[in-house]
Structure 1
Amino acid sequence: MIISETDIQVRYAETDQMGVVYHANYLVWLELGRTKLIEDLGFKYADMENEGVLSPVVDIEISYKKPVRYGEVAKVKTWIEEYDGIRVVYGYEVLTEGGELSVIAKSKHVCVKKETFRPISIRKRLPDWHEAYEKAKK
C-alpha cells in the first residue's frame, strides 16, 4: 500500500473565531492529499480532465478528533482504501503538528465522461491508472 504525505501550513484565513481550523477546510486539505497521491503514482488529475474524464466525489465521511490550530503544520496522509476498476475510495488521516490524530476520512469517487457525466470503466479508459491503482491499493 502506498501512503502519500502532504504538509499543510495552517493559514489564519482557515481558522474560525476559536483559532481552530474551520471544519470545511479539512475537505480542501483532503483534495490536496488526493492530488498528491495521484502525482506520487505518476499521474496528474489535469491530464485526466484533458482526456474528457472527471472524478466527482459521490460520498464523503469525515470524523473530527482533535483540532488543528493556526500556525501549526498539519500532515495529510492519503491512500487508496478500495478500488474496483470503476469506483475509488480514498482514505485519509490528518495529523496535528505534534503527530496526534485530528481527522479520519474517506471519499468515494467514480470517473465519468465530461460531456455526459455517465460513469466509465477506469480499467478500460485509463489502463495505466488502473494498473497503478491496483498496485497501490490497501
Structure 2
Amino acid sequence: MLVSTKEVEVRYAETDQMGVVYHANYLVWMELGRTKLVKDLGFNYAKMEEDGIISPVIDIEASYKKPLRYGETAKIKTWIEEYNGFKVTYGYEIFTETGELAVMGFSKHVCVKKATFKPISIKRSYPEWHLAYEKAKKHA
C-alpha cells in the first residue's frame, strides 16, 4: 500500500475565531493529499480534465480529534482505501507537527464526463491509472 505525505503550513486565514483551523479547511487539505498521491503514482488530474473527465466527491467524512493552530505544520497522509475499477475511496490522516492525530477521514469519488456527468470506468478509460491504483491500494 502506498501512503503519500504532504506537509502544509497552517496560515492565519485558515483559522477561526477560536484560533484553530476552521473545519472545512481540512477538506481542502484532503484534496491536496489526493493530488499528491496521484502525482506520486506518476499521474496528473489536470491531464484527465483536459480529456473532459472530472472526479467529483460523492461522499466525504472527517472525524476531528485535535485542533491545529496558526503557525503549526500539518502532515497529511493519504492512501487508496478501496478501489474497484469504477469508484475510489481515499483515506486520510492529518497529524499535528508533534505527531498527534488531528483528523481522520475518507472521501469517495467516481470519474465522470464533464459535459454530461455520465460515469466512466477508470479500468477501461485509463488502464494505466487502473493498474497503478490496484497496485497501490490497501489490501485486506
Distance 2:56 2:35 in 1: 13
Aligned to 1:134: 134
Identical counterparts, % of pairs: 71
Q: What is the total number of aligned residue pairs between the two structures?
A: 138
Ranges of 4+ aligned residues in structure 1 off by more than 2 Å: none
Where do 5+ consecutive residues of structure 2 fail to align?
none
User: CA RMSD of the aligned region, Å?
Assistant: 0.5
**TM-score under structure 1 length normalisation:** 0.99
Aligned to 1:66: 66
Where do 5+ consecutive residues of structure 1 fail to align?
none
Aligned to 2:50: 50
* CA deviation profile, 1:54-93 (whole Å, cap 9, x unmatched): 1000000110000001100000000000000000000000
Aligned to 2:13: 13
Q: Does 1:123 align with 2:123?
A: yes
Name the amino acid aligned to 2:40. D
Distance 2:77 2:69 in 1: 18
The alignment partner of 1:97 has SS state of coil
Distance 1:11 1:135 in 2: 35
Distance 2:72 2:90 in 1: 24
1:114 Cα offset (Å): 1.2
Name the amino acid aligned to 2:24. A
The alignment partner of 2:128 has SS state of helix
Distance 2:64 2:108 in 1: 18
Q: Does 1:25 align with 2:25?
A: yes
Aligned to 2:84: 84
The alignment partner of 1:42 has SS state of coil
